[in-house]
Structure 1
Amino acid sequence: MAWPDSVPARERRSDATTNHKALLHAAQIVLAENPQASLDTIAQAAGLSRRALYGHFADRETLLREVIALGAERFNTIAEIIDDIDPRVALARLAAGLWREASAVRAAANIALSEAHVSETVRSLAPLRRRVRELTDAGIAAGAFRRDVSPEVLAILIEETARATLRQTRLTGSNPSVIARVVLSIVGLSWTEQAALIASNPDIVA
Protein backbone atom coordinates (compact mmCIF):
# COMPACT_ATOMS: atom_id res chain seq x y z
CA MET A 1 0.00 0.00 0.00
CA ALA A 2 1.45 3.36 -1.03
CA TRP A 3 1.16 6.27 1.40
CA PRO A 4 0.98 9.93 0.33
CA ASP A 5 4.13 11.87 1.19
CA SER A 6 1.99 14.20 3.30
CA VAL A 7 1.18 11.44 5.82
CA PRO A 8 3.68 11.44 8.73
CA ALA A 9 5.73 8.24 9.14
CA ARG A 10 4.44 7.69 12.68
CA GLU A 11 0.84 7.86 11.48
CA ARG A 12 1.63 5.42 8.67
CA ARG A 13 3.09 2.93 11.13
CA SER A 14 0.10 3.31 13.42
CA ASP A 15 -2.37 2.73 10.58
CA ALA A 16 -0.35 -0.25 9.35
CA THR A 17 -0.39 -1.84 12.79
CA THR A 18 -4.12 -1.25 13.14
CA ASN A 19 -4.80 -2.77 9.72
CA HIS A 20 -2.60 -5.77 10.46
CA LYS A 21 -4.50 -6.49 13.68
CA ALA A 22 -7.83 -5.96 11.92
CA LEU A 23 -6.89 -8.48 9.24
CA LEU A 24 -5.85 -11.10 11.78
CA HIS A 25 -9.01 -10.57 13.81
CA ALA A 26 -11.16 -10.83 10.69
CA ALA A 27 -9.28 -13.95 9.58
CA GLN A 28 -9.97 -15.64 12.92
CA ILE A 29 -13.69 -14.90 12.73
CA VAL A 30 -14.06 -15.81 9.06
CA LEU A 31 -11.94 -18.98 9.19
CA ALA A 32 -13.83 -20.11 12.30
CA GLU A 33 -16.92 -20.30 10.09
CA ASN A 34 -15.30 -21.34 6.80
CA PRO A 35 -11.73 -22.70 6.67
CA GLN A 36 -11.76 -22.32 2.89
CA ALA A 37 -12.60 -18.61 2.96
CA SER A 38 -10.83 -16.53 0.34
CA LEU A 39 -8.50 -13.62 0.94
CA ASP A 40 -11.13 -11.36 -0.61
CA THR A 41 -13.64 -12.47 2.02
CA ILE A 42 -11.18 -11.89 4.84
CA ALA A 43 -10.15 -8.48 3.53
CA GLN A 44 -13.80 -7.46 3.15
CA ALA A 45 -14.53 -8.58 6.73
CA ALA A 46 -11.68 -6.36 7.91
CA GLY A 47 -13.01 -3.43 5.90
CA LEU A 48 -9.93 -3.39 3.69
CA SER A 49 -9.09 -4.14 0.09
CA ARG A 50 -7.35 -7.27 -1.19
CA ARG A 51 -4.45 -5.04 -2.19
CA ALA A 52 -4.17 -3.77 1.38
CA LEU A 53 -4.15 -7.35 2.63
CA TYR A 54 -1.23 -8.21 0.35
CA GLY A 55 0.63 -5.30 1.88
CA HIS A 56 0.71 -7.33 5.13
CA PHE A 57 0.70 -10.95 3.97
CA ALA A 58 2.52 -12.27 0.93
CA ASP A 59 -0.06 -15.03 0.36
CA ARG A 60 -2.79 -17.05 2.04
CA GLU A 61 -0.33 -19.46 3.63
CA THR A 62 1.50 -16.61 5.32
CA LEU A 63 -1.78 -15.37 6.79
CA LEU A 64 -2.79 -18.85 7.97
CA ARG A 65 0.57 -19.39 9.68
CA GLU A 66 0.19 -16.13 11.57
CA VAL A 67 -3.36 -17.02 12.62
CA ILE A 68 -2.04 -20.34 13.97
CA ALA A 69 0.79 -18.60 15.81
CA LEU A 70 -1.49 -15.94 17.28
CA GLY A 71 -4.02 -18.48 18.49
CA ALA A 72 -1.32 -20.72 19.93
CA GLU A 73 0.22 -17.82 21.81
CA ARG A 74 -3.09 -17.01 23.47
CA PHE A 75 -3.92 -20.64 24.25
CA ASN A 76 -0.49 -21.36 25.69
CA THR A 77 -0.68 -18.24 27.85
CA ILE A 78 -3.99 -19.44 29.30
CA ALA A 79 -2.40 -22.82 30.06
CA GLU A 80 0.58 -21.20 31.78
CA ILE A 81 -1.44 -19.09 34.20
CA ILE A 82 -3.65 -21.97 35.40
CA ASP A 83 -2.15 -22.87 38.78
CA ASP A 84 -4.99 -24.35 40.85
CA ILE A 85 -3.85 -27.14 43.15
CA ASP A 86 -7.00 -29.17 42.50
CA PRO A 87 -6.56 -30.72 39.00
CA ARG A 88 -10.34 -30.81 38.53
CA VAL A 89 -10.62 -27.05 39.03
CA ALA A 90 -7.53 -26.40 36.92
CA LEU A 91 -8.86 -28.45 34.00
CA ALA A 92 -12.29 -26.81 34.16
CA ARG A 93 -10.68 -23.37 34.32
CA LEU A 94 -8.43 -24.17 31.36
CA ALA A 95 -11.37 -25.34 29.27
CA ALA A 96 -13.44 -22.25 30.15
CA GLY A 97 -10.50 -20.00 29.28
CA LEU A 98 -10.22 -21.57 25.84
CA TRP A 99 -13.99 -21.25 25.39
CA ARG A 100 -13.69 -17.49 25.81
CA GLU A 101 -11.27 -17.49 22.87
CA ALA A 102 -13.90 -19.23 20.75
CA SER A 103 -13.20 -17.63 17.35
CA ALA A 104 -9.45 -18.13 17.68
CA VAL A 105 -9.95 -21.73 18.79
CA ARG A 106 -12.27 -22.55 15.92
CA ALA A 107 -10.07 -20.85 13.35
CA ALA A 108 -6.98 -22.73 14.54
CA ALA A 109 -8.89 -26.02 14.69
CA ASN A 110 -10.28 -25.56 11.19
CA ILE A 111 -6.87 -24.72 9.77
CA ALA A 112 -5.41 -27.77 11.50
CA LEU A 113 -7.77 -30.00 9.51
CA SER A 114 -5.56 -29.33 6.50
CA GLU A 115 -2.73 -31.84 6.19
CA ALA A 116 -0.41 -28.96 5.37
CA HIS A 117 -0.89 -27.40 8.81
CA VAL A 118 -1.35 -30.30 11.23
CA SER A 119 2.30 -30.61 12.24
CA GLU A 120 2.70 -26.84 12.59
CA THR A 121 -0.39 -26.61 14.79
CA VAL A 122 0.73 -29.50 16.99
CA ARG A 123 4.16 -27.93 17.39
CA SER A 124 2.73 -24.49 18.21
CA LEU A 125 0.40 -25.89 20.87
CA ALA A 126 3.03 -28.01 22.61
CA PRO A 127 2.88 -25.98 25.90
CA LEU A 128 -0.92 -26.32 26.06
CA ARG A 129 -0.81 -30.05 25.37
CA ARG A 130 1.94 -30.48 27.96
CA ARG A 131 -0.23 -28.71 30.56
CA VAL A 132 -3.18 -30.96 29.80
CA ARG A 133 -0.95 -34.01 30.29
CA GLU A 134 0.36 -32.60 33.59
CA LEU A 135 -3.18 -32.11 34.85
CA THR A 136 -4.12 -35.60 33.70
CA ASP A 137 -1.18 -37.15 35.53
CA ALA A 138 -1.96 -35.15 38.68
CA GLY A 139 -5.67 -35.98 38.57
CA ILE A 140 -5.11 -39.71 38.19
CA ALA A 141 -2.40 -39.75 40.87
CA ALA A 142 -4.74 -37.97 43.30
CA GLY A 143 -7.63 -40.32 42.56
CA ALA A 144 -9.72 -37.42 41.22
CA PHE A 145 -9.78 -38.67 37.59
CA ARG A 146 -10.78 -42.02 36.14
CA ARG A 147 -8.16 -44.75 36.20
CA ASP A 148 -9.51 -47.18 33.61
CA VAL A 149 -7.31 -45.64 30.89
CA SER A 150 -3.69 -44.49 30.91
CA PRO A 151 -2.79 -40.81 31.47
CA GLU A 152 -1.67 -40.59 27.85
CA VAL A 153 -4.97 -41.89 26.49
CA LEU A 154 -7.00 -39.71 28.87
CA ALA A 155 -5.07 -36.62 27.80
CA ILE A 156 -5.86 -37.43 24.17
CA LEU A 157 -9.54 -37.94 24.98
CA ILE A 158 -9.65 -34.57 26.75
CA GLU A 159 -7.92 -32.82 23.86
CA GLU A 160 -10.01 -34.33 21.08
CA THR A 161 -13.34 -33.96 22.88
CA ALA A 162 -12.60 -30.36 23.83
CA ARG A 163 -11.52 -29.58 20.26
CA ALA A 164 -14.74 -31.02 18.85
CA THR A 165 -16.87 -29.09 21.34
CA LEU A 166 -15.01 -25.82 20.83
CA ARG A 167 -15.52 -26.07 17.07
CA GLN A 168 -19.30 -26.22 17.39
CA THR A 169 -20.61 -22.88 16.14
CA ARG A 170 -24.10 -23.98 17.27
CA LEU A 171 -22.91 -23.48 20.85
CA THR A 172 -21.87 -19.88 20.27
CA GLY A 173 -23.06 -17.70 23.13
CA SER A 174 -23.37 -20.60 25.55
CA ASN A 175 -21.99 -20.35 29.07
CA PRO A 176 -18.37 -21.55 29.56
CA SER A 177 -19.81 -24.19 31.90
CA VAL A 178 -20.65 -26.19 28.76
CA ILE A 179 -17.03 -26.96 27.92
CA ALA A 180 -16.06 -27.22 31.59
CA ARG A 181 -18.68 -29.92 32.11
CA VAL A 182 -17.63 -31.72 28.94
CA VAL A 183 -14.01 -32.14 30.01
CA LEU A 184 -14.99 -33.00 33.58
CA SER A 185 -17.24 -35.72 32.19
CA ILE A 186 -14.36 -37.13 30.18
CA VAL A 187 -12.15 -37.43 33.27
CA GLY A 188 -14.87 -39.28 35.17
CA LEU A 189 -16.88 -36.78 37.21
CA SER A 190 -20.63 -37.32 37.46
CA TRP A 191 -22.99 -34.49 36.61
CA THR A 192 -23.66 -33.90 40.30
CA GLU A 193 -19.93 -33.75 41.05
CA GLN A 194 -19.50 -31.28 38.18
CA ALA A 195 -22.30 -29.09 39.50
CA ALA A 196 -20.83 -29.09 43.00
CA LEU A 197 -17.35 -28.25 41.74
CA ILE A 198 -18.57 -25.33 39.63
CA ALA A 199 -20.82 -24.09 42.44
CA SER A 200 -17.80 -24.06 44.77
CA ASN A 201 -15.70 -22.22 42.17
CA PRO A 202 -18.16 -19.91 40.34
CA ASP A 203 -15.37 -17.75 38.93
CA ILE A 204 -14.52 -20.61 36.54
CA VAL A 205 -17.55 -19.80 34.41
CA ALA A 206 -18.13 -16.17 35.37
Structure 2
Amino acid sequence: MTDTLPASARRPRRDALENRAGILAAARVALAHDPRASIDAIAREAGLTRRALYGHFDDRDALIRELIATGAARFNAIAGTIDHDDARVALARLAAALWREAAEVQVAAAIALDENHLESTGLALAPLRRRVAAIVRSGQDDGVLRTDVPAPTLARLVEETARTVITRMDASSPVASSLAVRAVLSIAGLGWRESEALLAEHPEVLPA
Protein backbone atom coordinates (compact mmCIF):
# COMPACT_ATOMS: atom_id res chain seq x y z
CA MET A 1 0.00 0.00 0.00
CA THR A 2 1.29 3.45 -0.87
CA ASP A 3 2.38 5.59 2.02
CA THR A 4 0.16 8.63 1.77
CA LEU A 5 1.28 10.33 4.99
CA PRO A 6 2.82 13.75 4.42
CA ALA A 7 6.52 14.08 5.16
CA SER A 8 5.76 16.19 8.25
CA ALA A 9 3.79 13.28 9.74
CA ARG A 10 6.55 10.73 9.08
CA ARG A 11 9.41 12.59 10.78
CA PRO A 12 9.80 15.37 13.34
CA ARG A 13 9.78 18.85 11.91
CA ARG A 14 13.18 20.49 11.64
CA ASP A 15 12.22 23.31 14.00
CA ALA A 16 11.04 20.78 16.60
CA LEU A 17 14.39 18.99 16.42
CA GLU A 18 16.23 22.28 16.73
CA ASN A 19 14.12 23.29 19.71
CA ARG A 20 14.83 19.94 21.37
CA ALA A 21 18.56 20.37 20.76
CA GLY A 22 18.35 23.87 22.21
CA ILE A 23 16.69 22.54 25.35
CA LEU A 24 19.41 19.91 25.78
CA ALA A 25 22.10 22.56 25.35
CA ALA A 26 20.39 24.79 27.92
CA ALA A 27 20.07 21.87 30.32
CA ARG A 28 23.82 21.20 30.03
CA VAL A 29 24.54 24.78 31.04
CA ALA A 30 22.04 24.82 33.91
CA LEU A 31 23.06 21.45 35.30
CA ALA A 32 26.77 22.17 35.04
CA HIS A 33 26.16 25.09 37.41
CA ASP A 34 23.64 23.28 39.60
CA PRO A 35 23.26 19.47 39.36
CA ARG A 36 19.77 19.80 40.85
CA ALA A 37 18.57 22.63 38.61
CA SER A 38 14.79 22.59 38.35
CA ILE A 39 12.80 22.23 35.17
CA ASP A 40 11.90 25.91 35.54
CA ALA A 41 15.58 26.90 35.65
CA ILE A 42 16.28 24.80 32.57
CA ALA A 43 13.31 26.32 30.75
CA ARG A 44 14.53 29.83 31.59
CA GLU A 45 18.01 28.98 30.32
CA ALA A 46 16.41 27.78 27.08
CA GLY A 47 14.26 30.92 26.83
CA LEU A 48 11.08 28.84 27.03
CA THR A 49 8.13 28.45 29.33
CA ARG A 50 7.75 25.30 31.40
CA ARG A 51 4.77 24.36 29.20
CA ALA A 52 6.81 24.72 26.01
CA LEU A 53 9.57 22.54 27.45
CA TYR A 54 7.04 19.88 28.39
CA GLY A 55 6.07 19.80 24.74
CA HIS A 56 9.42 18.11 24.10
CA PHE A 57 10.06 16.14 27.30
CA ASP A 58 7.49 14.50 29.57
CA ASP A 59 9.32 15.51 32.74
CA ARG A 60 12.73 16.38 34.17
CA ASP A 61 13.78 12.74 34.40
CA ALA A 62 13.11 12.22 30.69
CA LEU A 63 15.30 15.21 29.92
CA ILE A 64 18.07 13.94 32.22
CA ARG A 65 17.91 10.47 30.70
CA GLU A 66 18.42 11.89 27.22
CA LEU A 67 21.35 13.99 28.41
CA ILE A 68 22.93 10.91 29.98
CA ALA A 69 22.41 8.85 26.85
CA THR A 70 23.78 11.43 24.41
CA GLY A 71 26.73 12.34 26.60
CA ALA A 72 27.61 8.73 27.33
CA ALA A 73 27.55 7.86 23.64
CA ARG A 74 30.15 10.54 22.97
CA PHE A 75 32.36 9.50 25.90
CA ASN A 76 32.20 5.82 24.99
CA ALA A 77 33.09 6.62 21.39
CA ILE A 78 36.12 8.60 22.56
CA ALA A 79 37.23 5.78 24.84
CA GLY A 80 37.09 3.39 21.90
CA THR A 81 39.65 5.47 20.00
CA ILE A 82 42.26 5.52 22.79
CA ASP A 83 45.02 2.97 22.42
CA HIS A 84 48.69 3.01 23.35
CA ASP A 85 51.17 0.38 24.54
CA ASP A 86 52.08 2.59 27.50
CA ALA A 87 49.15 2.74 29.94
CA ARG A 88 50.38 6.10 31.27
CA VAL A 89 50.11 7.65 27.82
CA ALA A 90 46.74 5.98 27.22
CA LEU A 91 45.36 7.44 30.46
CA ALA A 92 46.73 10.90 29.64
CA ARG A 93 45.26 10.79 26.14
CA LEU A 94 41.89 9.64 27.43
CA ALA A 95 41.73 12.40 30.05
CA ALA A 96 42.72 15.05 27.51
CA ALA A 97 40.29 13.78 24.87
CA LEU A 98 37.40 13.74 27.33
CA TRP A 99 38.26 17.22 28.54
CA ARG A 100 37.93 18.48 24.98
CA GLU A 101 34.28 17.56 25.40
CA ALA A 102 34.29 19.98 28.34
CA ALA A 103 30.63 20.99 28.30
CA GLU A 104 29.41 17.41 28.03
CA VAL A 105 31.92 16.19 30.61
CA GLN A 106 30.92 18.78 33.16
CA VAL A 107 27.22 18.10 32.91
CA ALA A 108 27.82 14.33 33.07
CA ALA A 109 29.89 14.81 36.20
CA ALA A 110 27.18 17.01 37.66
CA ILE A 111 24.46 14.48 36.89
CA ALA A 112 26.60 11.71 38.36
CA LEU A 113 26.54 13.58 41.68
CA ASP A 114 22.77 13.22 41.75
CA GLU A 115 22.04 9.96 43.56
CA ASN A 116 18.79 9.56 41.62
CA HIS A 117 20.77 8.96 38.44
CA LEU A 118 23.87 7.12 39.65
CA GLU A 119 22.67 3.76 38.34
CA SER A 120 21.61 4.96 34.90
CA THR A 121 24.81 7.01 34.53
CA GLY A 122 26.92 4.00 35.50
CA LEU A 123 25.18 1.74 33.02
CA ALA A 124 25.43 4.27 30.19
CA LEU A 125 29.15 4.79 30.80
CA ALA A 126 29.97 1.08 31.14
CA PRO A 127 32.13 0.95 27.96
CA LEU A 128 34.19 3.93 29.12
CA ARG A 129 34.64 2.40 32.56
CA ARG A 130 35.71 -0.90 31.06
CA ARG A 131 38.33 0.91 28.98
CA VAL A 132 39.71 2.72 32.02
CA ALA A 133 39.84 -0.55 33.96
CA ALA A 134 41.65 -2.29 31.08
CA ILE A 135 44.23 0.50 30.86
CA VAL A 136 44.81 0.34 34.62
CA ARG A 137 45.24 -3.43 34.62
CA SER A 138 47.68 -3.19 31.72
CA GLY A 139 49.67 -0.50 33.49
CA GLN A 140 49.84 -2.50 36.70
CA ASP A 141 50.94 -5.60 34.81
CA ASP A 142 53.70 -3.57 33.13
CA GLY A 143 54.75 -1.97 36.41
CA VAL A 144 54.15 1.62 35.25
CA LEU A 145 51.09 2.32 37.41
CA ARG A 146 50.73 1.95 41.17
CA THR A 147 50.04 -1.56 42.43
CA ASP A 148 49.28 -0.83 46.09
CA VAL A 149 45.53 -0.95 45.35
CA PRO A 150 43.57 -3.46 43.21
CA ALA A 151 42.93 -2.52 39.59
CA PRO A 152 39.13 -2.03 40.01
CA THR A 153 39.72 0.30 42.96
CA LEU A 154 42.41 2.26 41.13
CA ALA A 155 40.17 2.60 38.08
CA ARG A 156 37.44 4.03 40.30
CA LEU A 157 39.93 6.40 41.97
CA VAL A 158 40.97 7.63 38.53
CA GLU A 159 37.32 8.22 37.66
CA GLU A 160 36.56 10.02 40.92
CA THR A 161 39.67 12.19 40.61
CA ALA A 162 38.74 13.22 37.08
CA ARG A 163 35.18 13.98 38.14
CA THR A 164 36.34 16.08 41.09
CA VAL A 165 38.64 18.14 38.89
CA ILE A 166 35.94 18.56 36.27
CA THR A 167 33.31 19.79 38.71
CA ARG A 168 35.71 22.19 40.46
CA MET A 169 37.24 23.88 37.42
CA ASP A 170 36.14 26.39 34.83
CA ALA A 171 36.19 24.55 31.52
CA SER A 172 37.27 27.73 29.75
CA SER A 173 40.46 28.02 31.82
CA PRO A 174 43.57 27.62 29.64
CA VAL A 175 45.18 25.34 32.23
CA ALA A 176 42.11 23.19 32.93
CA SER A 177 42.96 20.39 30.51
CA SER A 178 46.55 20.24 31.73
CA LEU A 179 45.50 20.00 35.37
CA ALA A 180 42.91 17.33 34.61
CA VAL A 181 45.50 15.16 32.88
CA ARG A 182 48.08 15.67 35.61
CA ALA A 183 45.54 14.86 38.33
CA VAL A 184 44.67 11.56 36.64
CA LEU A 185 48.34 10.65 36.25
CA SER A 186 49.01 11.54 39.86
CA ILE A 187 46.30 9.30 41.31
CA ALA A 188 47.50 6.53 38.98
CA GLY A 189 50.87 6.67 40.71
CA LEU A 190 53.07 9.09 38.78
CA GLY A 191 55.09 11.76 40.55
CA TRP A 192 54.93 15.26 39.16
CA ARG A 193 58.40 15.02 37.61
CA GLU A 194 57.46 11.75 35.91
CA SER A 195 54.25 13.33 34.59
CA GLU A 196 56.18 16.31 33.26
CA ALA A 197 58.66 14.05 31.49
CA LEU A 198 55.90 11.89 30.03
CA LEU A 199 53.97 14.87 28.68
CA ALA A 200 57.14 16.41 27.28
CA GLU A 201 57.84 13.16 25.45
CA HIS A 202 54.27 13.09 24.10
CA PRO A 203 53.36 16.73 23.30
CA GLU A 204 50.38 15.58 21.23
CA VAL A 205 48.51 14.84 24.48
CA LEU A 206 48.30 18.54 25.36
CA PRO A 207 48.87 20.46 22.13
CA ALA A 208 49.79 24.12 22.58
Normalised by the length of structure 1, the TM-score is: 0.89
Range with greater deviation from structure 2 (10-19 or 137-146)? 10-19
Match of 2:53, SS state, is: helix
Correspondence for 1:93: 93
RMSD: 2.0
CA distance in 2, matches of 1:101, 1:190: 26
Q: Does 1:111 find its partner at 2:115?
A: no
Ranges in structure 1 where 5+ consecutive residues have no aligned partner: 1-7
Once residues 143 and 15 of structure 1 are traced to their aligned partners in structure 2, the CA distance between those partners, rounded to angstroms, is 54
- Pairing of 1:1-206 with structure 2 (within 5 A): 9=8, 13-170=13-170, 172-175=172-175, 176-206=177-207
Give the 3-state SS of the residue equivalent to 1:167 in structure 2: helix
Select between 170-179 and 121-130 the one with higher mean Cα deviation.
Answer: 170-179
Deviation at 1:109, TM superposition (A): 2.2
CA separation in 1, counterparts of 2:93 and 2:30? 27
Equivalent AA in structure 2 for residue 203 of structure 1: E
Deviation for aligned residue 1:54:
1.1
Residue 35 of structure 1 contacts residue 110 of structure 1 at CA under 8 Å; is this kept in 2?
A: yes
The total of aligned residue pairs comes to 199
DSSP 3-state at the match of 2:116: coil
Inter-partner Cα distance in structure 2 for 1:142 and 1:36: 42
Query: Which deviates more from structure 2 when the two are superposed, residues 133-142 or residues 49-58?
Result: 49-58
Distance 1:152 1:17, change over 3 A: same
Query: Does structure 2 retain, via aligned residues, the 8 Å contact 1:92–1:183?
Result: yes
Distance 1:66 1:194 in 2: 37
The whole-number CA distance in structure 2 between the counterparts of 1:38 and 1:152 is 35
In structure 2, the gaps of 5 or more residues are 1-6
> Identity across aligned pairs (percent)?
51
Letter in 1 for 2:195: Q
**Structure 1, residues 85-143: CA drift from partner, whole Å, max 9, x if none?**
22111100111122222222222222222332111111111001100000001111111
Contact 1:140 1:147 in 2 (8 A): yes
1:116-175 per-residue CA deviation (whole Å, 9 max, x = no partner) reads 211111111100110000000111111111122221221121111111111114564243
Aligned-partner SS, 2:146: coil
Any idea what SS the aligned residue of 2:84 has?
coil
